[in-house]
Amino acid sequence: MSAILETTGLTKTFGAITAASDLHVRIEENTVVGLIGGNGAGKTTFINLVTGYLRPTAGTVRFEGRDITGLPPRRVTRLGICRSFQIPQVFDSLTTYENVLVGLGIVSMGRRAFAGSAPGGPAPEAAAEQVLTRFRLDAYRDELAGVLPEGLRKLLDIAMALAVKPRILLLDEPTSGVSADEKFGLMDLVLEVIREAGVTVLFVEHDMDIVRRYTQRILAFYEGRIIADGSPGAVLADAEVRRLVVGESEADVGGAPC
Amino acid sequence: MIRRRWTTAGLGIALVAVVGVAPLLPRWSLFVVTISLAKGLVALGLLLLMRTGLVSFGQGLYYAVGAYAAGVGAEALHLSDAVPMVILGALAAAAVALVLGLLLARYRAIFFAMLSLAFSMILYGVLVKTSAFGSTDGFNVAPKSILGFAAAGPAGRFGVYGVAALCAFGATLGIDRYLRSKLGRLAPAVRDNELRVEYMGASVRNVVHLHLVLAAALAGLGGALTALAVGHVDPEMAYWTTSGEFVFIAILSGTSSVAAPFVGALLLELLRSFAYEHAPNTWQLVMGVAMLGVILFLPEGLWSLFRRRVRSAT
Amino acid sequence: MSTLLAVLVDGVIYASWLFIIAAGLTIIYGVMRILNMAHGSFYALGAYAAASLVGVWLRGGRPPMGSYAMLALAAILVGVVAGPVIERGLLRFAYGKDEVVLVLITYAVFLILEDAVKLAWGVESYFVTEPYGLLGNLEMGPLSYPVYSGVLVLVAVAVGVALRWGIYGTRYGKLLTAVIHDREVSAALGIDVGRVYLVTFTLGTMLAAAGGALTAPMVSVVPGMGVEVIVLAFAVVVIGGLGSVPGAALGSLVVGLVRSAAVHWLPQVELFSIYLVMALVLAFRPRGLFVAAEARKI
């Protein structure tokens, strides 16, 4: 299978600090990949580099074979890679509905900024309603995004990223800030929508239960490098990973090496 | 988002009312309303910018460019009709913003305010030292015709008034339609979260640049109309206190209704006239207190007072 | 050659005048994140207060040298009265709001004070030239300068030194620096941020007033004298970097020398040259010539 996303020697330094070091990653289409690692390990930096928020100091990023290294987020998004954020990035003073409407509006504008709605397809208002229903946000349609609880803001953030109909979706800690009993519900919903659309997903996660349950492959980060790359079972059993990422004293032995 | 819907009909009625009442107005009132319409246009541009999250302390630049362009157009291009003069003013201001916007569109918050202020003060400095434009005295502007009709005397005054009313109508309608369009809806999105806008695939810089040009065109239009109404232009139009006045009108009117800037401008002109008559050393004080009141208690402008009453009636 | 000397000396004198005013503006921004548009009004208040106090002093037949003490007194009085009144009475209710909103609030204060001055002192001009000529002149080759200008330069240097010592050398200065870096953390550590704000604003106001008081003997004190000053002060702090005192010093020198050069060599550009420099600095080094690092946002 061809790699939909490939980075070679991806490196980012800020003066004396190395945030990402020589990252070689090959992601296959239609897979769900987990990115784990402690704070500052380089997971978000990786996402920032791939999506163009940061320019790499060295290395390349290829998407579907095409070199996208150094392109700004705007271009990367249009090519088909979207992301959500650790701290949800939504439009606080607009309602949930308006958030999605504006997002869809941007997507349908394309290069013809002054054109009316795209020919064919549902009217933007109907399309926005569809998105809200799909993500079960319709009950909060007229609430200002700024006052939504964190879990819903996260969901809205992800919904907007998916509205772009990307080929790759990068989720940065989708369940952080969400209460324990809601985490699985959120991930179930998101992955259900994603599976329908045939999107490749990479998500950063600290909760190992979530990682074990939803991923087909894991990349473990530590101090800017990838220290393990493989199936969830293999990676989570790896001694280095257990020591540096998961934590030595993991009481929950129940879900251990399978 | 605009919560009150101003349909074309609503604005049309307003236009008819404004024009219809003209013959009944004494000369001074006619002048005050004309100036209010002109300054309201500048404030409308500020409304667009504020929707996008930017406060410009330098709209005086485009106001002056519009005014001087209208005047120069009369001299250099031998334009004798008011309408082309006014159009020239708007276009000249838009052209300046097209160029300056290349730089200005990268700035936000107080840096944007300071840079826009700096540009307007540069123009002020240039105008004051340019004897061809009359230096600090400026020069007179007098169109010979308005849409073909002779421009002298009362007919001229009504003519300028009418042109101003038409411009205000057209601009308000245009901006209203624009803010409802896909591109216009990006304004509050840019204000709220530029990162998200970029990550959805749109260029924040282009949106801001466009809005700078639109606001400049409106300010230039207002400046040209003022030049015609007053019959004179001078460098003071580019001074920072003039820009401050437009900011005051915009704050007073709030950003939720596209028609509010004209009401705000009218209020300011009436306040100024009243103060000059009865208490000449207090109108800035009143302006300042009003501004504080609005900022601290009515952050959406005076318009929100009106809206509250409407809401509580239901 | 004498023109070059004249440009330099004039430039330094003008820079000194600017620095006294701009230093206050920059520390208010640095600590409170408020770009104080009313700064020019405090300058005017200082000038008017100085005019009144010096007038009262001299009318009483008292020794003319005492008029300098009156200048200082004017600055202190304006600072100690206007500062707390505005800060405690108004600004304090707006902390936490957007930076631009705070600027607009100070703009409203500027409008109010413009008329307040007219109501208090009337619209006629005041002249208090005695302190200016009292110390005689200083000959520098072909040029002759009033010693008063030298006093201005000395005051500016003293202000600079005092601020530097105050901020880096005293305990209170360290509290100030902490608040500049992070208000929330400082408050969490037990620093009385409210009092730091009050002191800073009062100090800044006092410096603006000092600028005005020192200017009073040099010009006619008229309404609206603060209007041009404020934009000049903005130019200085933008060039040097908002919140930086050494930046204000550098910015003052740049503006002072540019203006001086323009006045002597190219009078047509005098007015706009300063704002052109301001625009250029904003274009290439928006944070000013004294930059600080920025933390990661996402």
Q: What is the pLDDT of residues A215-240, one digit of tens each?
A: 999 999 998 899 999 999 898 888 88
Q: For residue B210, tell me if it sits in a domain.
A: yes
A89 in contact with C, Cβ within 8 Å = yes
Closest B-chain CA to A92: B192
- pLDDT average, residue stretch C90-110: 89
In which region does residue A40 sit, left (phi positive, over 0), alpha (psi from -120 to 50) or beta (all else)?
left
CA A78 – CA A61 distance, rounded (Å): 16
**How far apart, in Å, are the Cα atoms of A156 and each of A61, A135, A190, A200, A210?**
28, 8, 11, 19, 20
pLDDT at B5: 57
pLDDT one digit per residue (tens) for chain B, 314 residues: 444 455 777 888 888 888 888 888 888 888 999 999 999 999 999 999 999 999 999 999 999 999 999 988 877 777 778 888 999 999 999 999 999 999 999 999 888 999 999 999 999 999 998 888 888 888 888 777 777 677 677 778 888 898 999 999 999 999 999 998 989 999 999 999 999 999 999 999 999 999 999 999 999 999 999 999 999 999 999 999 999 999 999 999 988 888 899 999 999 999 888 887 888 888 889 889 989 998 888 877 666 665 554 443 33
Closest B-chain CA to C284: B103
Partners of residue B183 in chain A, C-beta under 8 Å: 109, 113-114
C298 in contact with A, Cβ within 8 Å = yes
The CATH number given to A3-89+166-246 is 3.40.50.300
Q: For residue B49, tell me if it sits in a domain.
A: yes
Please give the mean pLDDT across all residues of chain C: 88
Q: For residue B204, tell me if it sits in a domain.
A: yes
Partners of residue C90 in chain B, C-beta under 8 Å: 292
Preferred mutation among B49, B51, B251, B292 to probe C, highest tally of C CBs within 10 A = B292
pLDDT at B1: 41
- pLDDT average, residue stretch C135-148: 83
A 42-61 residues inside an 8 A Cβ radius of C: 44, 48, 53
Q: Between C94, C114, C272, which is nearest B125 by CB? A: C272
Partners of residue B196 in chain A, C-beta under 8 Å: 89-91, 160
Show the tokens assigned to C135: 């110390």
Segments making up each domain of chain A, as ranges: 3-89+166-246
Predicted confidence band of residue C2 (pLDDT cuts 50, 70, 90): low
pLDDT at B298: 80
**Mind listing the pLDDT tens digit for each residue in C214-262?**
999 988 899 989 998 999 999 999 999 888 899 999 999 999 999 999 9
Partners of residue C298 in chain A, C-beta under 8 Å: 44, 48, 53, 85-87, 89
Preferred mutation among B106, B178, B199 to probe A, highest tally of A CBs within 10 A = B199
pLDDT at A202: 94
- pLDDT average, residue stretch A36-56: 92
> CA of B103 to nearest chain C CA: how many angstroms apart?
7
CA B154 – CA C170 distance, rounded (Å): 71
pLDDT at C295: 47
> How much of chain C exceeds pLDDT 90, in percent?
50
pLDDT at B308: 54
Partners of residue B201 in chain A, C-beta under 8 Å: 74, 77-78, 106-107, 164
> CA of A120 to nearest chain C CA: how many angstroms apart?
37
Q: Between C116, C231, C269, which is nearest B117 by CB? A: C231
Please give the mean pLDDT across all residues of chain A: 86
Cβ separation of A93 and B191 shorter than 8 Å?
yes
**Mind listing the pLDDT tens digit for each residue in A176-210?**
888 888 888 888 988 888 888 889 999 999 888 88
Supply the pTM of this predicted model: 0.89
Q: Number of structural domains, chain B?
A: 1
The CATH number given to C2-284 is 1.10.3470
> CA of A251 to nearest chain C CA: how many angstroms apart?
32
pLDDT above 90 for C293: no
A neighbour chains, 3+ CB pairs within 8 Å:
B, C
The mean-pLDDT minimum among A6-10, A161-165, B186-190, B278-282 falls in B278-282
What is the DSSP secondary-structure string of C188-220? HTT--HHHHHHHHHHHHHHHHHHHHHHHTTTS-
Of A147, A133, A134, the closest CA to residue A95 belongs to: A147
Partners of residue C275 in chain B, C-beta under 8 Å: 118-119, 121-122, 125
DSSP code at position B79: -
CA C2 – CA C4 distance, rounded (Å): 5
Helix or strand run (H / E) with residue A5? strand A3-14
pLDDT above 70 for C158: yes
DSSP code at position A224: T
Residue B177 belongs to what domain range?
Answer: 10-238
Q: For residue B221, tell me if it sits in a domain.
A: yes
Cβ separation of B193 and A91 shorter than 8 Å?
yes
